[in-house]
Structure 1
Amino acid sequence: MNHRTLGNVGAVSEVGYGAWQIGGDWGDVSESEAVDAVEAARDAGIDFFDTADVYGDGRSERIVGDVLEADIGSGDVTVATKAGRRLDPHVAERYTEENLRRFVDRSRENLGMETLDLVQLHCPPTDVYYRPETFDALATLADEGRIANYGVSVERVEEGLKAIAYPGVESVQIIFNPFRQRPAELFLDEAAARDVGVICRVPLASGLLTGALSRDTEFAADDHRSYNREGDAFDVGETFAGVPYEVGLDAADALAERAPATGDGLSLPGLSLRWILDHDAVTTVIPGSTTPEHIRSNAAVSDLDPLGEGDREAVDDVYDGFVREHVHQRW
């Protein structure tokens, strides 16, 4: 497993583990499945784990904290969490020092950590990025020893660009994959210029880029791929990367058909993760899964050679032909 530097947080595995699925919103996941998934990730050389206080109302944090207790205590892993989405109503004015301290203290308890490695504002309203007092509050929590570092998780490129103007922001988490390419136009270069770490989420477009979904796939009622296709629960860009489902299936099929012709022999998810990692400004990519085999396969992408020109052209052609019009200017 190769490592890259995440701002002042330090070196982390370039393939991390996204722990949303073991918390909720992806159908039923048993406790034993969740534990096995985290253990598989650690055994595969992953030492960066991303969670949030709202994933299963703290379930994800608690499982990560319990399974990784020894590694957390020895400093052998980095655990990032997120705060803010517990606010109701979820408005910029409520991103106060008092509320953030309350959320952070709850996460510290869930994870069993005196000092959280990295706390990210969890896709806050855009107006938060125009409220210096919110970032001052994070700095205060760092001074108090509750958190070691802070960053943001954003929906839009513009939010990421605004966030990195604050000198204390060490990382930006953003959706970036072969079906969401806009961050490569400007944001990645700007983040690199400021030594800000970039965490890439939704790297497989909620399963579209695994090649395992079809028009006959049925999703559970409590799976966001069922109930959030139109953005009814949260930003639609979090579900299938914002690509209309049928369009995404066609695009995935086109990419799977074309990419093998280049001779690299990569699976579709391997191609997608390698494409992300081939951008030097990316620090870590955080696919989520509850299947140990998939987790090991994702981690192994770190050891693969960069993509060839044919694969890169295939990704760009499919994006331009199927996806760009649906997502590019929206996020």
Structure 2
Amino acid sequence: MRRRSGHETRWAYIFMLPWLIGLVLFQAGPMIASFVLSLTDYDLISSPEFVGLGNYATMLEDPKVARAIGNTAFYTVLHVPLALVISLLLALMLNRITGRAAGFFRTVFYLPSMTPYVAVGVLFLFLLNGQAGLVNQVLGVFGIDGPQWTSDPAWVKPGIVLMSLWNLGSTTIILFAALRNVPRELYEAAMIDGAGAWQRFRSVTAPMISSALFFVLIINTISSVQMFDQVYTMFFGNQTAQHANGDAALFYVVYLFQQGFQFLHMGYASALAWLLFAIILIITVIQVKVGNRFVYYEAEPQGTAERTGR
């Protein structure tokens, strides 16, 4: 038995070897290298010069770091709740569609997720144009004078949120799958007890899909904090748009990219990356600690929730 167990263990490590090599070469290795670089002054041309915690001290005095964090936080707080609510409404709509139309609408809702982010950025640069954009033309039909989405600092971030709501396909499909797994007998029992539509949603649907909601909350939050592609395409690939809105579209990852690849401050950019990692880690830990009190796990033994505080 020992010989057989050792043989199986060796084969297990052999099968895991490609993943372990990838982990070391493409994840753990670069992370360690970036941390070392964050302690240096490095411009990709000359040799790195050790500065200790100098880059981290500079971040505390850099006003653009605070501005970038503020812009990113504003976008995240506005985007994540809207994304979850709209995705849940779309998923509930899909759940009510049956027959051949169901597959068609699932495909239609998911297709925007396959659109390249750069293409989405270019598309919405035209749609949100203050003078000739389709969004303002539609608002004009209702007598509403549309704002300057891409040049007015007060409307830049709401415009980016509007653009990001285009790509909700993945979140919608995840929530739709969760809704499909809710046992029908629970709804039937609730209806027998006289529960209305809102009561059924609050007492049956929401608890049963709470784990999926919790998952998409974390994923969407991390994705929002790392927002880059569409914003850079819309505002920083176009110098005119960039100068018009000032720093209203300066998101954290955009500023990190600028420092590393535009100004060649690779050491400082590495320090910014580690700050971003710390921010995401803290947010995720808080979400997990708070979320576990409200998430229902169907396979959880009776009494576990009370022992763990949920």
Shared fold, TM over 0.5:
no
TM-score tier (shorter):
under 0.3
Structure with greater helix share of residues: 2
Instruction: Give the structure-2-normalised TM-score.
Output: 0.26
Greater C-alpha Rg: 2
More strand by share: 1
The one of the two structures with greater contact order (alpha-carbon pairs below 8 A, sep at least 6) is: 2
Q: TM-score, normalised by structure 1?
A: 0.25
